[in-house]
Amino acid sequence: IRLNKSIRRVVSLATEQGTQYDWQGGVGPQNQIVSFSAICAHKMSHPSVQVSFINYRPEEVQYAGHDNRFHRRSNVIYCCSEGSVYDPAEGGRVLGGPAPNPLAAILLEHDPQTDHLFAVGVAGKSMFASYFETFGHRLELEFKNQVVDQAVEDAAEVIPLESYCARQVLC
């Protein structure tokens, strides 16, 4: 996600289990590029070829916060499946809804010489093992590949959600 502002600060976060970690902020020429796992930290809603309930929302949206009041904000990641809302400028911090953890942050490095981005790790609670255990068989059928849970070792193409997914559910 290329945010509309520079994110140059370290954000301290914690998982539901109390594990502390630091998110390093944005990368790129203006420190505006951030990345998160698109697996919701609540019930693992995720984009598929058919539909996505989790989306980045640059426009202003309304959501229920942890204070049981309605809030309006732009530039959030919103999972319409159960109403979890995350702040991508704060390391995927949960703003509202039932998600018990921030979104897992994909750690990026930027090469200014080539303007290439590299995903080099994950910060926060990774949902990958339980995700592949739960959805692996469907993914094997969808992608016609028996090794959907292997790490990418060379290069992976980044595809905009609107090009990958037939329908985005916006709430």
pLDDT along the chain (171 residues), means of 10: 95 97 97 97 95 97 95 98 97 98 97 94 94 94 86 83 94 89
- Structure confidence at residue 77 (pLDDT): 98
- Structure confidence at residue 25 (pLDDT): 97
- Structure confidence at residue 161 (pLDDT): 92
- Structure confidence at residue 38 (pLDDT): 96
- Structure confidence at residue 129 (pLDDT): 94
pTM of the model: 0.94
- Structure confidence at residue 60 (pLDDT): 98
CATH number of 11-168: 2.102.10
Domain range summary for the chain, segments of one domain joined by +: 11-168
Q: What is the 3-state secondary structure (H, E, C) of the chain?
A: CECCCCCCCCEEEECCCCCEEEECCCECCCCCECCECCCCCCCCCCCCCCEECEEEECCCEEEEECCCCEEEECCEEEECCCCEEEEHHHCCEEEECCCCCCCCEEEEEEECCCCEEEEEEEECCCCHHHHHHHHHHHHHHHHCCCCCCCCCCCCCCCCCHHHHCCEECCC
- Structure confidence at residue 144 (pLDDT): 87
